[in-house]
A = this chain, B = another copy of it.
Amino acid sequence: MSRVSEESGTAAKETTTERIPAALRREQILAAASRVFGERGYSGATTDQVAQAAGISQPYVVRMFGTKENLFLEVVARALDKLITTFRVVLAEPQPAGDDDADSLVARLGAAYVDLIEDRGILLSLMQAFITGHDPVIGAKAREGFLQIYRMLRDEAGFPPEIIRDFLANGMLFNTLLAIRLPDIFEDDEAAEELMRCAFRGKLDVVLDATGSHASHAMSAPTGTAGTHS
């Protein structure tokens, strides 16, 4: 795929180039960039790939955000905001009476985290930022973002360090399994299936759905959950 804007491509992209308000176009670019950066990483992604995914020209992407780095930083900031907001919503919910505090709250936060997979690119863009810790600018933002999550879980959720550590550990495993594209081989490798059934539990369908890896295969618990419940 070269640089010329050949209409009608095979990959998913925003078709039809019309005049759209800059603010809205900006959102489209950010959404496209989130997917592209999440997949290829900061260095691996190109502004042209983002442009094609957004259905516009490469110069427009660059002019809208000044630099590729600014675009990535904006994507990461948005992803972090979305994550923090999602957690705060869960924290604001009344906990289902009868459930013990911490244990159930952790489970609900974890479920909310997994559900973020629907907004493709958010989790992976964040992970890509974490992995780019060597970069002076991106690294600093990544560290601050990671610690912001930690402080939220400590100061707002009231978790002790050990609980937070385990929670973050599961999150990083989830990110890694997504990044390595393990869902792609769910049906072809028994070990992959076993690990993912164990790691994703009731959210297995959500993950396989979002990653486009087959459709139905349940076989776990007879507890409802037939279709997708986003």
Please list the residues of chain A having a beta carbon within 8 angstroms of any beta carbon in chain B. 39-44, 127-128, 130-134, 139, 142-143, 146-147, 150-151, 154, 161-162, 164-166, 168-170, 172-173, 175-176, 179-182, 184-185, 189, 191-192, 194-195, 197-199
Report the copy number of this chain in the oligomer. 2
Is the beta-carbon distance between B43 and A41 smaller than 8 angstroms? yes
Q: How far is the CA of A173 from the CA of B181 in the complex (A)?
A: 18
Is the beta-carbon distance between B41 and A132 smaller than 8 angstroms? yes
Q: Which 8 A-B pairs have the closest CB atoms?
A: A43-B44, A161-B198, A133-B180, A169-B173, A169-B169, A43-B43, A172-B172, A133-B181
Residue among A128, A164, A168, A185 with most chain B CB within 10 A = A168
Residues of B within 8 A of A165 (CB): 173, 195, 198-199
Residues of B within 8 A of A43 (CB): 40-41, 43-44
Which of B134, B143, B154, B184 lies in contact with A185, CB distance below 8 A? B143
Is the beta-carbon distance between A143 and B181 smaller than 8 angstroms? yes
